[in-house]
Amino acid sequence: MLDSTTRSAYIDASKVPKGPIIFVMVLGAFVAILNQTLMNVALPVMMEDLKIDMTTAQWLTTIFMLVNGILIPITAFLMEKFSTRKLFLVAMSLFAVGTLICGIAPGFTLILIGRVIQAAGAGIMMPLLTNVILSLFPIEKRGGAMGLIGLAMMAAPAIGPTLSGWIVQTFSWRLLFFIVLPIAIIDVILAYFLLRNVTKLSNPKVDIASIILSTIAFGGLLYGFSAAGQDGWSDPIVLTTLAVGAVTMIIFVFRQLRIKTPMLEFRVFKYSMFSLTTVINVVVTMAMFAAMLLIPLYLQDVRGFTPMESGLLLLPGAIVSGIMSPITGKLFDKIGARPLALLGLGITAVTTYFFTDLTDSTTYTFMMLLYTARMVGISMIMMPIMTAGLNQLPRRLYSHGTAMANTLRQLSGAIGTAFLITVMSNRAADHIADFMPKTGMPSEQEFAVIKGLATIEGINDSFMVATVFAIFGFILSFFIKRTKPDAEDDAYNQERSRETEEQGKVHVTHEAKPQNG
């Protein structure tokens, strides 16, 4: 075991055992995502136990998403300011403390505070993990490593809904937090002993104005789009938050382009392959949310299945995609992103189109098989495409590229959800007229049937929009090319490498007291 001074110094990635580092960080990402998927199913039971309405309860998921979305853009700055080990330990400790507060909190207010603390830790996880992989692995081996991130992203949603459904039906919802808490604590302990500092620091100055602008911009847009799906696009709060978020975003971007050391570097978009793959990832995320959102809605609200039955339908697809993710990562290293993206988006487009023909008698088994096939396609897209774009960036932009990619994925998820819910709601309202009898008014029971049929047609129309998203991504994928890191920063990297090595030597030899950084 390393002493604490050695652990706190930067270590050349080629000289460090990669397995323990990746295991610790993937476990952290997994438990953070699992926590969120567990919460979604538990809300109705928590509403009853805490004596709160749906609007209030929804804040337990909304606040988590908002804090995540606000913090992710700031991670580029944090990853350049603080060491890998220190940042991960703080993030995972925050997550564990927030989880404990949620588990023991007597009322809604304290649970909400716990969710904020949880999200503050969770928001750092994914960008930090991606940045570490870019630093640890050479370009020809990154696909397999990035596939492990996909495993965490897919395995947690696979387990979450079914596990949560079983727990809230059998035990207390508080058990959901006490399942997550031991894993988080164990991960903090493992990180203390196993994690090394493999990312180079540039010690940027804190720009308070950028942090404030970023918080208002991303927070306003995320909340506006999330609320639009529930309250409609004409709601004054929705319009106000979207307008404030959009205007502040313009100011934020201009500031980042003008200051010497931006908090979030928008010049990553001058790299063509990063820009292209980011657009594809945004489109794919919006298409992916169609099934994750609309299928449970169809099963529970229209067909009367329980949340647990709904989760079980999605379980095989999520498990298969989790298994496929490391495999597609290895394939990416051998054949590149374009063949995987074309095949994956082709499968996604076809299977999404089959979901446009749901009826009130579509079988459970058919939907399970179709969803599983769709997830096979999606598992071939997400991580390979993201890796292909990040591979073009020079080392100095790794932290900014990972922060940007994760931020836009978060934002596109909120936009996709709001847009598809709006399509479903508007089209369902239009279809009610199609099912109304030609003469006379239907009875209350007949109208309930009509409303159910109209909702199914609205869901079908939303899946048609998602199919268009997938086809658009498929067309864009023809332009994906293999890339190498841009050479423009060779001199910069060499200079920073020398500086960091000198700092590491001084740190190890000069410091007398142990440091846990």
pLDDT by 10s per residue, the chain, length 517: 334 444 455 555 556 778 888 899 989 988 888 887 777 777 778 888 888 876 677 788 878 888 888 888 888 888 888 888 899 999 999 999 999 999 999 888 999 999 999 999 988 888 888 888 888 888 888 888 888 777 777 777 767 777 877 887 788 888 989 999 999 999 999 999 988 887 777 777 888 899 999 999 988 988 888 787 677 788 898 899 999 999 999 999 999 999 888 888 899 999 999 999 999 998 888 887 767 778 888 888 888 887 778 778 888 888 888 888 888 988 998 988 899 999 999 999 999 999 999 998 899 999 999 999 998 998 888 888 888 888 888 888 888 888 898 888 888 887 887 788 888 888 888 888 877 877 667 777 777 788 888 889 999 999 999 999 999 999 999 999 887 776 555 444 454 445 445 544 544 444 444 444 4
What pLDDT score was predicted for residue 116?
92
Measure the CA–CA gap between 191 and 381, rounded to whole angstroms. 30
Measure the CA–CA gap between 333 and 145, rounded to whole angstroms. 10
**Strand, coil or helix: what is 304?**
coil
What pLDDT score was predicted for residue 39?
77
**Strand, coil or helix: what is 261?**
coil
Give the other-Cβ count within 10 Å of 502's Cβ: 10
Tokens of 456: 């199914």
> In angstroms, how far apart are the furthest CA atoms of the chain?
90
What pLDDT score was predicted for residue 498?
53
Q: What stretches of 336-443 show up as alpha helix (H) in DSSP?
A: 337-354, 364-379, 382-390, 398-435
Q: Name the residue with tokens 């864009």.
A: 476
CB-count burial class (<10 Å; 0-12, 13-18, 19+) for 478? exposed
Measure the CA–CA gap between 189 and 185, rounded to whole angstroms. 6
Nearest CA-CA partner of 229 in 386, 464, 58:
58
What pLDDT score was predicted for residue 190?
94
Measure the CA–CA gap between 343 and 477, rounded to whole angstroms. 10
Identify whether the C-beta of residue 158 lies closer than 8 Å to the C-beta of residue 322: yes
What pLDDT score was predicted for residue 468?
93
- In order of 158, 161, 166, 324, the CA distances from 317 in angstroms are 8, 13, 19, 10
What pLDDT score was predicted for residue 490?
47
